[in-house]
Amino acid sequence: MTSHALGQIAKAIAADEASAENIAYANACMQRLVRIYNQHKAGNDFKTKLYEGKLGPKDCNLRIAVPRELEDIGVSCEWPAIAVRSLQSRSKIQEIKNPDGELKASFNRIAKENDLIYKYDKAVIPELKHGCAFGTLALGDNERARIKFHTASSSAAEWDGEHDRLACGFAIIDSAKFNRDRSYKPSVVNLYLPDAIWVYRRIDATHWTAEEHPHKMGRCLMVPMCFRPDEERPFGISRISKSVVYLTKAAIRAYLRFEVAAELYAAPQRVGLNLDDDTLDALDGNFKAYFGYWLAMAASDEEQEGDTRAPEPKIFQLDPPTFQPHVDVLRSLAEAFSASTGVPLSELGVRYDNPSSAEAIAMAKESICKEAESLNETNGRAISELILMAHLMNEDRSWSELTEQERDISVKFRNPSTPSIASQADAMVKIASVLDGFSYTRSFLEAMGFDADEVDTIQSELKSANVSGDRKSTRLNSSHI
């Protein structure tokens, strides 16, 4: 999508009389948001290029050790994608919690209706790539709240520092081709304001209409998910930092030098000295396929005429360059990348001769697990806010009408250290052996690897079994009276 694809949207006309009163304010907000979107588009596109492994030697070769002619070698580096996916894989929603059973059921119904766990899993990747992603709400065809996620490549927002939330934001909802356009352009864009959603629709290549849909929430129906937000950068920072960019470029150059060294190793240079014309012709004829790897020096005319003092012809092979310096450079870069991102070296392809102990493996994961815990905390708040707003929309209420019981919502994530089921089960059994009754609790069953539905089924069956056991015991006792 080109940066001018939204150029005329801030000049939209009202779709009806009801929208005409506030169209000027909506267009002013949209104009500011388009400016923000365009300012960040180039940077977001570059990070996407890095994530997809499309950065090549032409983008980073210094042209000192490797000439320009060899830049077409298809070398790429997946480290930025590994940095993103390694953290994303440690941020998995387990369930939505609330002390009130009825509210918990309502919140989990909203999560199921919107396939929230699956959508969240996909949304974390663009969040880490660009620094933020956005969740939005709207009423669906069944008049129930619908949650959707958007990347920074298809949305933008403005922060309200006074109220510590979004002031406004937009998201591209649909795209289409107009007239003879070769590429798709935004055709439907939603503008989110604290009191309304404005739906902008493209009429043709340059003209838009806007329709106002008021709501009573009292805040934008748009929630940001941000990686490492702070007071100066409320929308967070990208996981693909400047350090990641530099180390990725350095790794591509190292891989390129490694590839060239491998070619020279497979076809080492051979040298022939004092060769006569007949020998040169034989080399050119019988070894034509390999003649380019020869450095041949012909004998002088006097030497070829049979001068007894002429040196004898010599043929020898130059020693090929060793790979070890290239391997050492790549390992050093991988270690620096691991230190910068917390990604364990094993995930970057670095292996050591001696296998690591369990303690060493756990220590290697400690940094990224702490990062995942921080990510889960901030994203948990965003998901909670989305679910609460969906709950209020379904009941036609405003944010100010939230009760304390409803606010007591939390999102439980899976353990970011991703222990194996066997080790987790072993730990739980050991705890249950010293804590009476723990093996019958919901926490024990969840820690054993059962999902929420399986836990409900198991607890129901255990309850039925206990009731049946009590009845049987009562009958046995009665027979002895």
Q: How far apart are CA 41 and CA 419, in angstroms?
A: 39
pLDDT at 436: 79
DSSP H or E stretch at residue 135 = strand 132-139
Q: How far apart are CA 380 and CA 374, in angstroms?
A: 10
Helices (H), 89-237: 101-113, 116-130
Beta bridge partners of 275: 298
pLDDT at 467: 55
* Residue (of 290, 286, 152, 287) closest to 227 by Cα position: 152
Q: How far apart are CA 341 and CA 84, in angstroms?
A: 9
Is-contact 197 213, C-beta < 8 A? yes
168: number of Cβ within 10 Å? 23
441: left (phi over 0), alpha (psi -120 to 50) or beta: beta
pLDDT in tens, the chain (481 residues): 444 578 789 999 998 887 888 999 999 999 999 999 999 999 999 999 999 999 988 888 888 888 888 888 888 899 999 999 999 999 999 889 999 989 999 999 999 999 999 999 999 999 999 999 999 999 988 889 999 999 999 999 999 999 999 999 999 999 888 767 677 889 999 999 999 999 999 988 788 999 999 999 999 999 999 999 999 999 999 999 999 999 999 999 999 988 888 877 777 667 767 766 776 676 665 554 444 555 555 555 555 455 556 567 777 677 777 778 888 999 999 999 999 999 998 888 887 666 666 677 777 788 999 999 999 999 999 999 999 999 999 999 999 999 999 999 999 998 898 666 666 777 778 787 878 777 778 777 777 777 777 787 887 888 787 755 554 454 444 444 4
Pairing of strands 93-97, 270-275: unpaired
Q: How far apart are CA 123 and CA 375, in angstroms?
A: 13
For the chain, the maximum distance between any two Cα atoms, rounded to a whole number of angstroms, is 130
Dihedral sign from CA coordinates of 373, 375, 378, 380: negative
What residue type is 205 in one-letter code?
A
Is-contact 254 324, C-beta < 8 A? no
| Tokens standing for residue 17 | 């009389």
Q: How far apart are CA 135 and CA 146, in angstroms?
A: 10
* Residue (of 46, 43, 55) closest to 79 by Cα position: 55
pLDDT at 415: 87
pLDDT at 305: 56
pLDDT at 290: 47
pLDDT at 481: 44
